[in-house]
Structure 1
Amino acid sequence: MNPSLEPVIAFLQTVHPYDTLPQDELARVAGSFSRREYQSGEEVYHAGEPLKGLYLIKRGSVEVMEPSGQVISLLGPRNSFGERGLARDGLAVTTARVTEDSVLLMLPVAEYRHLVSTLPAFERFFSRGRGTENKTGDLTVQKVSDLMASRKPIAVAAGDSIRVAAQKMRDARVSSLGVLEGERFVGIVTTRDMTNKVLAGGLDPAGPVSEIMTPDPISLSPESLGSDILHIMLERRIGHLPVVEAGRLVGMVTQTDLTRFQAVSSAQLVRDASMADSVADLAAVTARIPKLLVQLVGGNNAHEVVTRLITDIADTVTRRLLAMAEAQLGPAPVPYLWLACGSQGRQEQTGVSDQDNCLMLDDAVTEADMAYFHALAKIVCDGLDACGYVYCPGDMMATNPRWCQPVRVWHDYFRGWIAKPDPMAQMLASVMFDLRPIGGQASLFKTLQHETLDMAARNSIFVAHMVANSLKHTPPLGLLRGFATIRSGEHKNHIDMKHNGVVPIVDLGRVYALVGQLEPANTRARLLAAENAGVISQSGARDLIEAYDLIAETRLENQARLVRSGRKPDNFLAPSDLSDFERSHLRDAFVVVRTMQSAVGQARGAKG
């Protein structure tokens, strides 16, 4: 292999869908890329020009603009652009310009089209983006239910006084109220009504609010589109629209909501995090993730796109905290690598995630140097906790001295777990097989990853134990086509969509990656790679991937629903919240997972 390609290959292994390619094909594709440097403000291409290829950001930032000059996307590292033009007639349909000194990799047109036409993973990934570059930022195609403020609408009774209404608006910090007669929505009152009709008009504040409300105002249903809001607001010159369902007020959409929606994008959050000056600034960025989740789910994005974009924010926050730590402590005494495991390692974070991480240190590290790395780990882990990535309950963090060690010790860890796969070793190996470099010297991990996959795959006893470990989490299937729900406690009659939903598939994907010595950490990428490598049959892979897609998307939709209702997202779903059709399909997906678990268990049993 050409040594000059190694940095490109290492980078592509962190970018989907390139991370699904076999090693030899990845090396070939890496050799097709050309490296290009741009200065801040320089155009990459202009709308209407022939495109030379697909662009991938290695370092820097790129803004993508419509021909009108409107910015529709702000992209950071590992984002691709230009595919819309390549999917059409080869002409750029947008203008791309770097906003800071940047390094881009360009894949020639012929190679791009070859990959898309021959590899399902590439076709699925890039076809999703065609014609939808600004889909998630286009509020016109969003449902009204996704645009409403998350809190419940504030309302007053028609007989309440104007003063009471004004006090409610002040206390809730809102600019409008619904007016009700019993449960029936009858009108709306705004701060403009207070100004024009009470202050300027001289009405008595003790009078009923019904005197100043707008009766029977125009309203929309939750299923209306954002375009309906824009058209009504522009045509009628109003800034508040009640959302009504069966005569009941269920929400209020304001111009502020529209502005807030357009201001939230993963690229903007990544940029804001990368420029943050303090932990408080970073926490303000991550506080916007639930709104981003609602927006991305409402835009009908695939679950692996949603979780990847959310994980990108966590990666950026982590790297910013590492930079803050080095600014405080000074340069590191030896090279180091910060890695994430768990959902961040697999690039599968949702609206609720804790932190799982570790530090690998160059073998030249001394005992005296360790104080520096313990201090660095504390700064970063404390910062992540302050940003909502709570401390790992199992203490799988770099602040634990066990997980802050030289590379040679990490080699010993994995050798020991593989040689003696007791239950604790199985658990630790399961977590650590999902490691992904985040910041520092990535080469510290490369040799370890190759050695560990090879050593583990050749140890049939270890593989058998890992298979057994993967079967501990089972889908929530009950008798008579029902679900096995939680029987007591806070989440009674709910399904745990994490531990009984996605985790069984995550565990299967890890086993397939181990058996096939596949490098991807992302679950969906592992399933695709397992199919391509023949680890599982094509039909089995298709069924399992479709089941995973349905389960993961149902989990995200439930989290978005919780956020819209003003609650924190979690992993617990009440089957009663689903339609009969949805329940039937979700159960069928769980049956597929159970079937694949049985197949894995039987195959390992036969070999044992």
Structure 2
Amino acid sequence: MPLDPDALLRFLSGVHPYDALPEEALNALLPAFRTLHMAAGQDIYQYGKPLDGLYLIHSGGVAVRDRNNVQISQLGPRNSFGERGLGRDGIAVTSARTTADTLLLVLPKSDFLRLVETQPAAAKFFDRSRAARPKRPELATSPVETLMAREPLTCAPGETVQAAARAMAERRVSSICITEDGLLRGIATVRDLSGKVVAGALPFDTPISAVMTADPLSLPPSAIGSDVLHMMMERHIGHVPVTQGQRLVGIVTQTDLTRFQATSSAELVAGIAGAQDAQEMARVTARIPQLLVQLVGTGNRHDIITRLITDIADTATRRLLTLAEARLGPPPVPYLWLACGSQGRQEQTGVSDQDNCLMLDDSYSDEHEAYFKALADFVCDGLNICGYVYCPGEMMASNPRWRQPVGVWKAYFKGWIAKPSPEAQMLASVMFDLRPIGGTVSLFEDLQRQTLALAAKNSIFVAHMISNSLKHQPPLGLLRGFATIRSGEHKNTLDLKHNGVVPVVDLGRVYALQAKLSAVNTRARLEAAQAAGVLSNSGGRDLIDAYDLIAETRLEHQAAQIKAGEAPNNYLAPADLSDFERSHLRDAFVVVKSLQSAAGHGKGMLG
């Protein structure tokens, strides 16, 4: 029996986005709805079949499954579903079945499309605006392989500068790559020819290898446009070769980027790269909150956003290292500055402290301590001025414990793995997220490889790391509710960092240890674990989707706080979410909990 208009109006008035519609628009929409009574266990629609329209649950329950018949959501009263298929000629992209006696309200496709086209609140809720039209490609997130010229001009090291200049003029390009057997050896530009050959009055038969930049900076095809922009801005170069291993596969120049609009993240990188002190850098990093708002508002994926924001911290660190060396003189022995924590994983948001360390060449001696203490203090103090506040646990290069020769670092990791005490587990968790930022990278490469191999072979250590990864639990309560914080400043909120993102970060780290994966970024670890078979395809898909939803909810929360003039944090009140958002967020937490359970019960990592 259909609902009478008054009952339907009362119900819709308590459901978003209908509660945000003008009274006239809501009243006009009422006749379009039809009711559908279904018993438990009935199919509402199936994947690939035509959809009747948008479904809204009045009472009862519905399980939504993907094309592989894996349940992705359990919905209750006031939840909508089916909207994704209405953007694809009315063909379902999921399947849905009742889990109890259910009363559904069905809004036909034509009325649904009219609703989202005319009512901004509905368009925002159902996200029709982005789904309905293709997104314009953006430089920051475009893969380098879509930007590069695939047949760069090349020559052999013994070619003369005159022949190289003639070839550049004929091709009308500003650079030439020097290769041997397809491997990149160097690059020469018009500036090299004018500044070194002409200005230096060199003979025209001078080998190009004499004026080229040997072993130039390069990027892999998997890099993204922001990597090119940031490298160009920071290093003051206009040509970036693209290599697969050492094999030259393309080149990106400033000319290749002119069809794209420069992103604000690149502007911040450029401002920091040219800054003369930490105070000048701080004026640039103060713009990061607005960058976060912009990136979230334009619909970028969370891992792209955090990568762009982390790039700014990386640039600030390298600039401070350069300024420190200018003040202190060249380092007495090779060193490497590394980031750990969220910077190490390229997962910084609007709330980040600093976590870093120094690895020193084993030729280091006590007489060098004053230099590296001054360098570490200079950089850590500068980062603090820039807004990357001191680590509360003093996990920074300014702490002598985390400023040691490579041999000491090897002993650290060996000891943590051999005797996995609670402190060792905590330190290993942080230090397994190390990523080189500036200095001699080779100091870390052997250490990372050896440590991963040593850790993977020690089943007791891995078991302790798994146990440690279960300490942060998703905030799931009884009866499909959330377990919110019970007291204090953040009472009745969810901690989207420690109970949302961190459980997935911890799982990703364990997968990386088990499979000896060198990836540090959490999403990259999950994808690599899935590819390596450490994480099953279904478990991997579910966990990545769950992580994406949790991380994006966190960023959207921070962006909303910034727009409201508040300092961003990680504490979200469930009441601020719609029923639809709460339901899907809880489903994401359930996925994480299930993968934690699989790890804790020794079922491998197959989810």
- What band does the TM-score fall into relative to the shorter chain? 0.5 to 0.7
Q: Give, in whole Å, the separation in 1 of the partners of 2:501 and 2:182.
A: 36
CA distance in 1, matches of 2:510, 2:524: 13
The CA distance in 2 between the partners of 1:132 and 1:297, in whole Å, is: 24
From 89, 94, 101, the counterpart of 2:237: 101
CA-CA distance at 1:101 after TM superposition: 3.5
SS of alignment partner, residue 367 of structure 2: coil
Does the aligned pair in 2 maintain the 1:434–1:521 contact within 8 Å? yes
Question: Quick check: 1:314 aligned with 2:450?
Answer: no
Q: CA offset at residue 100 of structure 1?
A: 4.2
Q: Does the aligned pair in 2 maintain the 1:37–1:102 contact within 8 Å?
A: no
Question: Are positions 1:58 and 2:217 aligned together?
Answer: yes
Matches within 5 A, 1:269-288: 269-288=268-287
Distance in 2, matches of 1:74 and 1:17, equals 8
2:462 matched to 1:463?
yes
Deviation at 1:479, TM superposition (A): 1.0
Given the alignment of the two structures, is residue 441 of structure 1 paired with residue 440 of structure 2, yes or no? yes
Give the match's secondary structure for 1:554.
helix
CA distance in 2 between partners of 1:562 and 1:343 (Å): 21
**In structure 2, what is the Cα distance between the partners aligned to 1:380 and 1:362?**
19
Q: Does 1:352 align with 2:351?
A: yes
**Other-structure match for 1:534:** 533
The answer as to 2:229 corresponding to 1:76 is yes
The question of whether the paired residues in 2 share the 8 Å contact of 1:346 and 1:434 is answered with yes
Distance 1:560 1:132, change over 3 A: farther
- Residue 399, structure 1, aligned to residue 535, structure 2: no
Find the counterpart in structure 2 of residue 37 from structure 1.
187
Name the structure 1 match of 2:598: 599
| Partner-residue secondary structure (3-state), 1:271 | helix
Q: Distance in 2 between matches of 1:102 and 1:371?
A: 38
Q: Distance in 1 between matches of 2:476 and 2:496?
A: 12
Cα distance in 1 for partners of 2:297, 2:587 equals 24
SS in structure 2 at match of 1:105? strand
Instruction: Count matched residues.
Output: 397
AA aligned to 2:308 is L
Which 5+ residue runs of structure 1 have no aligned equivalent? 1-14, 19-30, 43-56, 61-71, 80-96, 114-130, 138-263
The aligned residue for residue 266 of structure 1 is 265
CA deviation string 1:341-385 (max 9, x = no partner): 000000000011000000000000110101110111000000001
Q: Is the 8 A contact 1:378 1:399 kept in 2?
A: yes
State the distance in 1 between where 2:400 and 2:281 align: 26
Contact 1:35–1:106 (CA<8 Å) still a contact in 2?
Answer: no
**Residue 296 (structure 2) aligns with:** 297
Q: 1:34 to 1:498 in 2, by over 3 A?
A: same
CA separation in 1, counterparts of 2:479 and 2:595? 21
TM-aligned CA distance change 1:311 to 1:422, over 3 Å: same
Q: In 2 relative to 1, CA 448–99 (structure 1 residues): closer, same or farther, beyond 3 Å?
A: closer
Post-superposition shift, 1:488?
A: 1.2
Matched, 1:561 2:555: no
- Name the aligned partner's letter for residue 375 of structure 2: L
Contact 2:226 2:308 in 1 (8 A): no
Partner SS for 1:531: helix
Give how far 1:480 is off.
1.1
CA contact (8 A) 1:337 1:359 kept: yes
Q: How many angstroms apart in 1 are the aligned matches of 2:425 and 2:528?
A: 23
Shift of 1:450: 0.5
Unaligned runs of at least 5 residues, structure 2: 1-141, 146-180, 193-215, 220-224, 250-256
What is the CA distance between 1:568 and its match in structure 2?
1.0
Q: Hey, what does 1:339 align to over in structure 2?
A: 338
Percent of aligned positions with the same letter in both sequences? Answer: 64
Tell whether the 8 Å contact from 2:549 to 2:585 is kept in structure 1 after alignment.
yes
Indicate the residue corresponding to 1:422 in structure 2: 421
Conserved 8 A contact 1:421-1:465: yes
The answer for the alignment partner of 2:486 in structure 1 is 487
The alpha-carbon deviation at position 58 of structure 1 amounts to 3.4
Structure 2 contact 598–604 (Cα < 8 Å) conserved: no
Corresponding residue for residue 589 of structure 1? 588
Closer, same or farther: CA 605–521 of 1 in aligned 2, 3 Å: closer
Give the Å deviation of 1:313.
0.2
Structure 1 residue 578: Cα displacement: 0.8
Superposed CA deviations along residues 291-330 of structure 1, whole A, max 9, x for unmatched, are 0000000010000100000000000000001111111111
1:362 matched residue in structure 2:
361
CA contact (8 A) 2:234 2:269 kept: no
Contact 2:268 2:284 (C-alpha < 8 Å) held by counterparts = yes
Contact map agreement 1:59 1:103 (CA 8 A) in 2: no
Partner of 1:496: 495
> How far did 1:59 drift?
6.5
Pair 112,366 (structure 1): closer, same or farther in 2 beyond 3 Å: closer
Structure 1 distance, partners of 2:290, 2:340, is: 25
Shift of 1:32: 7.3
Kindly provide the amino acid, as one letter, of the partner of residue 490 in structure 1: E
Residues 41 and 538 of structure 1: is their aligned pair in 2 closer, same or farther, counting only changes over 3 Å?
A: farther
Task: Write the distance in 2 (CA, Å) between the matches of 1:320 and 1:107.
Answer: 26
The DSSP-based 3-state class of the residue aligned with 2:549 is: helix
Q: Which whole-Å CA distance do the structure 2 matches of 1:132 and 1:527 have between them?
A: 35
8 Å CA contact 2:182–2:248 kept in 1: the answer is no
**Map of 1:142-291 to 2, 5 A cutoff?**
265-291=264-290
* Aligned pairs (5 A) from 1:380-391: 380-391=379-390
Q: CA deviation at 1:489?
A: 1.4
C-alpha contact 1:39 1:100 (8 A) present in aligned 2 = no
Query: SS at the partner of 1:37?
Result: strand
CA drift of 1:476 comes to: 0.5
Per-residue CA distance 1:136-188 (angstroms, 9 max, x = gap): x7xxxxxxxxxxxxxxxxxxxxxxxxxxxxxxxxxxxxxxxxxxxxxxxxxxx
For 1:581 and 1:348, the matched residues in 2 are separated by 27
Amino acid at match of 2:528: A
Is contact 1:40-1:98 (8 Å) kept? no
Check whether the contact 2:360–2:404 (CA below 8 A) recurs between aligned residues: yes
Asked if 1 retains the 8 angstrom alpha-carbon contact of 2:228 and 2:240, the reply is: no
Relative to structure 1, the CA distance from residue 40 to residue 371 in structure 2 (aligned partners, 3 Å threshold; closer, same or farther) is: farther
Match for residue 122 of structure 2? none
In 2, the alpha carbon distance for the partners of 1:426 and 1:98 equals: 36
- Structure of larger gyration radius: 2
Aligned amino acid, residue 354 of structure 2: Q
| AA partner of residue 530 (structure 1) | A
Distance 1:590 1:440 in 2: 40
Equivalent pair of 1:385/1:391 in contact (CA under 8 Å):
yes
Residue 78 of structure 1: CA displacement?
Answer: 5.9
**Matched-pair contact (CA < 8 Å) for 1:36–1:103:** no
Deviation, structure 1 residue 266 = 0.6
Q: Which amino acid aligns with 2:378?
A: I
- TM-superposition CA deviations, 1:254-277 (whole Å, max 9, x none): xxxxxxxxxx71111011110001
Check 1:41–1:577 CA distance in 2 against 1; reply closer, same or farther (3 A cut): farther
In the alignment, the residues of structure 2 paired with residue 382 and residue 303 of structure 1 have an alpha-carbon distance, to the nearest angstrom, of 29
Q: 1:98 to 1:368 in 2, by over 3 A?
A: closer
CA contact (8 A) 1:363 1:406 kept: yes
Q: Describe the shift of the 1:410–1:103 C-alpha distance in structure 2 as closer, same or farther (beyond 3 A).
A: farther
Secondary structure in structure 2 of the residue aligned to 1:339:
strand
Q: 2 CA distance for matches of 1:427 and 1:416?
A: 13
Give the conservation status (yes or no) of the 8 Å contact 1:36–1:106. no
Aligned-residue offset at 1:459: 0.3
